[in-house]
Amino acid sequence: MYDPDLYDKYSEFQRRDAREFIPYIVSKMTRKPTEVVLDLGCGSGFNTKNILYPALSAVAHNDTPASFVHVYAIDVSKKMVDFACIRYAHPQITYTVADVMKDETEFHCTFDKIFSLHVLHWIVDQR
């Protein structure tokens, strides 16, 4: 679905999974004071801003707060990324159009964590 308004309106299934999965997984991860995270297939940006970022910014299970978290949220759909930039903007989230199936996807950083939910079924060429 490439209509961001419709996707945002009818994505409760994805939100439910994200609410259950992301906080649990983050609580089990080793945390660093500074983290750079990739959200692969961010869609409308709702889950990135409202579920993933808060979970990453919360105090870790070892009582070490993440003092700085930056999330790079990517999606292949320009419409989705434009929507996310407007509706779910946040100073610590960078939304970018990128296709991870192509070799030209470049980042000028390394990632401490990579998250991806409900993405594989959108990839046509699953080599």
Q: What is the pLDDT of residue 46?
A: 94
- pLDDT tens track for 48-75: 999 999 999 875 445 555 567 899 999 9
| 119-127 contact pairs (CB < 8 A, 24+) | 119/40, 119/41, 122/41, 122/76, 125/101
pLDDT at 88 over 90: yes
Task: Find all residues with CB under 8 Å of 27, minimum gap 6, and list them.
Answer: 60, 61
pTM listed for this prediction: 0.85
Q: Report CA Rg, the chain.
A: 14
Distance of CA 107 to the CA centre of its chain: 15
pLDDT in tens, 101-124: 776 667 788 999 999 987 776 677
Fold of 4-122: Rossmann fold (3.40.50)
pLDDT of residue 61: 47
